[in-house]
Amino acid sequence: MIDRESAPGNNDSSRHPVPSRELIREELERVLNSNTFHAAGGQSRFLRFAVEHTIAGCPHEVKEYTVGVEVFGRGPSFDPRLDNIVRAEARKLRSRLAKYYEGEGRDDLIRIEFPNRGYVPAFRGVDFACPASPGLTSPSITPKSADQTTWLDRPAHAPSRADDSSNSILPAVTRQFASRWVRIGLLSIALLITGVAIYAARLEWSKREQAPVGASIAVLPFRNLGDVKDESFSDGLTDELIDSLGRAQGLHVVARTSAFQFRSPTLDVRQIGRKLNVGTVLEGSVRIYGSRLRITAELDDAANGYRVWSDSYERDFKDILFIQRDISQAIVGALSAEFASRGSPQKLTFPPSRPVPVNAEAYKDYLRGVYFWNRQTSESIETAISYFDRAIATDPAYALPYTGLARCYVNIPAFTRTQWREVTPKIRELALKALALDNGLAEPHIDLAYAAFLNYDLAVAEAEFKKGLELSPNDAIAHRWYAAYLSNVGRVDEALRESRISQELDPVSTYVLDGTARALYLLRRYDEAIEQYKRTLALDPEHGPAHRGLGRTYLQKHMYSEAIAELQRGNKEMRSNPAAAADLAYAYGISGNTADARKTLRELLGESAGRPFPAKPIAQIYLGLGEKDLALEWLEKAIEAQEVNLYLKGDPIYDSLRSDPRFARLLHKAYLD
């Protein structure tokens, strides 16, 4: 039931300017990226959920049960009567919003207000109160009293009470009319200026509200309808469909991280299409019973929500690869026909493929390995290795588990103290085995490229990256790795371009966003890098690499206290990584806190004694302490150990060394001259 007192038309809001959805969204991003909300992960998600659903015309979905399940992950059995998580977080959110508008947001022209009862937010600008759009019910906002007047409420050159008689010849209604139009004029100008500034900033990174890029698709996670509640198979099948469609020339495919945020979508396909910047959305389900498999799939037009194509497949499990091929080719055919009916010359083509029957148990283990690899923790990587090993033991002629295992070995040094050169031979061996079994795969070329990069064989790395991206142009991880390679060899403009492509394919991946921010940092575009790192942290406040990157960027702007705070957070989130400790110690050194810098240095030197240990972190601390000779000595050790991600060509921390002939010799030794 609609509350008549708060319904549109009954709170007199029609006489006042109404903030647009676009400006409300910009205010939401401003709030969430503020220092006040910096570490408020749950409350930030709560606020985003409530605002987005309200301005999308779905305020009825902002209720306690839905918030508990969708925002706080309480699951379908959530009972608000027994669990007060939503009410408790709502109280915290109201308090945090009030704190924001008392401080950082005191000059904001639009305000988001959270009601004391219910969870549907209201939005107001200066001198008006309104719901987000016609037809939405929101709690009304109490008009300001006379002593709450802001500078926008007062007409220009407004007289004080002492000289108010100078306007006595104007009738009161005329003065009120003039004052009203001056206020509206000033407000309109201010909103226009704000809108233009926000739009200019958004052009650099936001793609969400643009028209979809040509033929484009998002594959949502297929639902598991089997008796066993194991999502590893259905998720893995979705991954394989994303990969298969990604091989189609001319088709833009959203990557896994972005598509999987809609596992249990509360939005319709039109809203999903706008958020992911795609023209079509694929949904489906999978059921396994015995040795049989049933898959249903449906393709919807994201512009109007209409069905474009649908089909179901019921076959023996051994035919799974044929089913994947049939689904992918059917989708490409449907999209090609759709473009042809619109008179578009765009052509979609598939590279030739020869799927073969696969052992059912080996395929299941491969998909489970993919599932755990995507979770990206040290424990999940170890679990993924066990599944890939088992798939290979079951079916040694099956190529894909070798590629999965190779990617696990690429990840191992990031999660352990394993040296890069220890894993390089294994990565190369596995990638070559996969290519021998199926030379049409793209992943082994990307793995070979990374192995060559680890060996400082830059010409081979370049050729293999290009071959892999030619075979699979929609592989966001491949573009991300290529960008990292380009950054390391000093081709940072190209790295930024590759990072942008990766970001278009996977717009909500923190790993991808962090790569774009790193490229901006290396290009000395520090303010843009800061915004990008903050955007990454808005998605995941506990993302250690983004805290580290933000801290490093603050250092270049001589914002030492802010830098140290971020680097302390990054070190906390990545405590087992010596590079995070070195970042913080470097900051201590250049900011004058040499005692703490030397304390960390002693700890790392102690760890490095008598066993393999990365040399770059120690070199970095010596740089922070101004001890250039020792810094150069340890950088040479890093190159001899074939450490990667040194960023010798671009990182500003090395600027004090660039005029030293010894640094030039290091670049030559690393094949970077």
Sign of the torsion formed by the C-alpha atoms of 188, 192, 193 and 197 = positive
Average pLDDT over residues 653-664: 94
Q: Give domain status of residue 412, yes or no.
A: no
- Among the listed ranges 131-145, 188-202, 449-463, 625-639, which one has the minimum average pLDDT value? 131-145
Tokens encoding 553: 């960027």
303 vs 335, residue with greater confidence: 303
The verdict on 196 and 219 lying in the same domain is no
The Cα 450–Cα 493 span in angstroms is 20
With 0-12 / 13-18 / 19 or more C-beta atoms within 10 angstroms meaning exposed / middle / buried, residue 345 is exposed
Q: Give domain status of residue 435, yes or no.
A: no
- Among the listed ranges 50-54, 191-195, 267-271, 320-324, which one has the minimum average pLDDT value? 191-195
First to last CA, the chain: 72
List pLDDT tens digits, range 554-592: 999 999 999 999 999 998 888 778 889 999 999 999 999
Burial 159-174 (b: 16+ CB within 10 A, else e): eeeeeeeeeeeeeeee
Give the CATH number of the domain where residue 647 resides.
Answer: 1.25.40
The Cα 654–Cα 657 span in angstroms is 5
Identify whether the C-beta of residue 597 lies closer than 8 Å to the C-beta of residue 625: yes
The verdict on 234 and 343 lying in the same domain is yes
The verdict on 144 and 180 lying in the same domain is no
Q: Which residues share a beta bridge with 535?
A: none
The Cα 335–Cα 251 span in angstroms is 9
Secondary-structure breakdown of the chain: helix, strand, coil percentages, each rounded to the nearest 5? 60, 10, 35
What pTM did the predictor assign? 0.59
The verdict on 85 and 136 lying in the same domain is yes
The verdict on 225 and 195 lying in the same domain is no
Average pLDDT in the chain: 78
Sign of the torsion formed by the C-alpha atoms of 58, 61, 62 and 67 = negative
List pLDDT tens digits, range 64-100: 888 888 888 777 667 776 677 888 888 888 888 988 8
Q: State residue 228's pLDDT score.
A: 59
Identify whether the C-beta of residue 89 lies closer than 8 Å to the C-beta of residue 42: yes
Nearest to 301 by CA among 280, 284, 277, 278: 280
The verdict on 36 and 83 lying in the same domain is yes
Q: Give domain status of residue 191, yes or no.
A: yes
Alpha helices in 247-359 (DSSP H): 256-259, 269-276, 320-341
List pLDDT tens digits, range 355-401: 566 777 888 888 888 888 877 777 888 899 999 999 999 999 988 89
CA dihedral 45, 46, 47, 50 (to 10 degrees): 120
H or E element at residue 78 = none
Domain boundary among 100, 132, 148: 148
The Cα 582–Cα 604 span in angstroms is 9
The verdict on 353 and 219 lying in the same domain is yes
Q: Which domain, by its residues, includes 607?
A: 576-673
232: helix, strand or coil? helix
Is residue 343 very low, low, confident or very high in pLDDT (cuts 50, 70, 90)?
A: low
The verdict on 41 and 133 lying in the same domain is yes
Q: State the residue for tokens 């100078």.
A: 166
The verdict on 61 and 187 lying in the same domain is no
Domain boundary among 307, 335, 357: 357
Q: Give domain status of residue 657, yes or no.
A: yes
Domain boundary among 357, 374, 398: 357
Q: Give domain status of residue 80, yes or no.
A: yes
The Cα 150–Cα 154 span in angstroms is 7
Name residues whose C-beta falls within 8 Å of residue 134's C-beta, 6 or more positions apart in sequence.
8
Q: State residue 127's pLDDT score.
A: 47
Q: Give domain status of residue 497, yes or no.
A: no
List pLDDT tens digits, range 486-538: 999 999 999 999 999 988 888 778 888 899 999 999 999 999 999 999 988 98
CA 477 to each of CA 252, 549, 662: distance values in angstroms, whole numbers, following the listed order: 15, 19, 35
The verdict on 305 and 183 lying in the same domain is no
With 0-12 / 13-18 / 19 or more C-beta atoms within 10 angstroms meaning exposed / middle / buried, residue 33 is middle
The verdict on 181 and 278 lying in the same domain is no
The verdict on 136 and 262 lying in the same domain is no
Give the CATH number of the domain where residue 285 resides.
Answer: 3.40.50.10610
Nearest to 581 by CA among 528, 617, 556: 617
**Tally of structural domains, the chain:** 4
